[in-house]
Copies of this chain bind each other. A is one copy, B any other.
Amino acid sequence: MSNIQDVAKLSGVSVATVSRTLNNPEVVSEKTRKKVLKVVEEINYYPDSLAKNFRTRKTYMIVVLVPDIANPFFSRVIRGIQNTAHLNNYSILLGDTQSQISIEESYAKMVIAKQADGIIQLSAHFPLKDEMLKRYSHEKLPIVNICECLDGDIVPTIQLDNIGAAKTMTSHLIELGHKHIGVVTGPAKSPLTKDRLAGYRLALEEAGLSFDDNLIRTGDFSVKSGRDTADEFLGMSQVPTSVFCFNDEMAMGVCQRFKEAGISVPEYISVAGFDDINFASLHSPSLTTIRQPAEEIGKAAALQLYNILRGIPPSERHIVFPFDLITRDSTGPARKS
């Protein structure tokens, strides 16, 4: 369609002035501005972003790397990111990685190739680390790692107080009289697993209860892994009186299996989750869980990256968000026996 030259010709000014009118109106005289804007309106001129981005070296795109977009917790985080990004004129480039490193890398390349300005990474990886560190200084590295975060100070992070949340949930169960609390963790190498397990141990210690390694089972955050570990708990000589799952999906899987086995939750065994996804409250029994401020985390991430991209180093490089313990029907007093 029409370009900046057409607008210039039709309004009898130079392309420079058209450009200024559109990008720095205050620097142009009112008369000129009006003349130009009228023509822009008339011929329905839209500046060519391809040219503009090329010229300014910016894309106004942010890659969001998420292990699985169909995960309801992640999708809330993404909504938070996108709302805030959009307000600042940035768009979200969705990178559903299915946890595959090669896919993560192919998206990270987009930053190097200037198809995107930065990355918000929802898992504890740093794709193309060497390449990125070579190209950006510590301060300007356009990456924000959220939800499941790398240790150290290599990238800015934003996450829940996972230790505190797991400690609080465990204490909640202890207060209900539970002494044998099974756990279904995430993948062994996940920082989430490490932190939440640490919180669990802290609560036990505080209550003077001993830690039993046998009660700890490794899941992978899927419903199925919850189902599978449920069987393991039921097979124990001393079946735990409660199970703390490190996300809601696994808690639902555990509940489902218990239901099939004719075991009642929470009468015989309590089950707790983590995240407070939408369906946690619709579940039967409704799930006791930890609420994460998902949208706020997303919002904070977008803001953090936005600042980095504008050259403003974040005042806090590692933000920790508070949680809420949500008690519902899936946890109750420990059974006698």
Interface residues of A (CB under 8 A from B): 1, 44, 46-51, 53-54, 57, 59-61, 64, 68-70, 72, 75-76, 78-79, 82-83, 86, 91-96, 103, 106-107, 109-110, 112-115, 131, 134-135, 223, 252-253, 256, 259, 278-279, 282-284
* A92 pairs with B93, CB closer than 8 A: yes
Contacts A83-B96, A93-B61 known; A113 to B47 CB distance under 8 Å? yes
**Within 8 Å CB of A59, what residues of B?**
50
How distant is the Cα of A28 from the Cα of B75 in the complex, in angstroms?
46
Residues of B within 8 A of A79 (CB): 68-70, 96
Q: Are A70 and B61 in contact (CB under 8 A)?
A: no
Residues of B contacting A46 in the complex (Cβ-Cβ under 8 angstroms): 109, 112-113
Chain copies in complex: 2
**A91 CB contact (under 8 Å) in B1, B70, B93, B135:** B93
Q: A69-B82, A70-B79 are in contact. List 9 more A-B contacts (CB 8 A).
A: A46-B109, A46-B112, A48-B114, A50-B59, A50-B115, A72-B75, A79-B96, A91-B107, A94-B94
Residues of B within 8 A of A50 (CB): 53-54, 57, 59, 114-115
Q: Which residues on B sit within 8 Å (CB–CB) of A53?
A: 50, 54, 115
In the assembled complex, the CB of A118 is this many whole angstroms from the nearest CB of chain B, namely 15
- Minimum Cβ distance to chain B for residue A122 (Å): 14
Minimum CB–CB distance for A174 against chain B, Å: 28
Contact A70 B113 (CB under 8 A): no
Residue of B nearest to A76 (CB): B70
CA distance A300 to B255 in the complex (A): 36
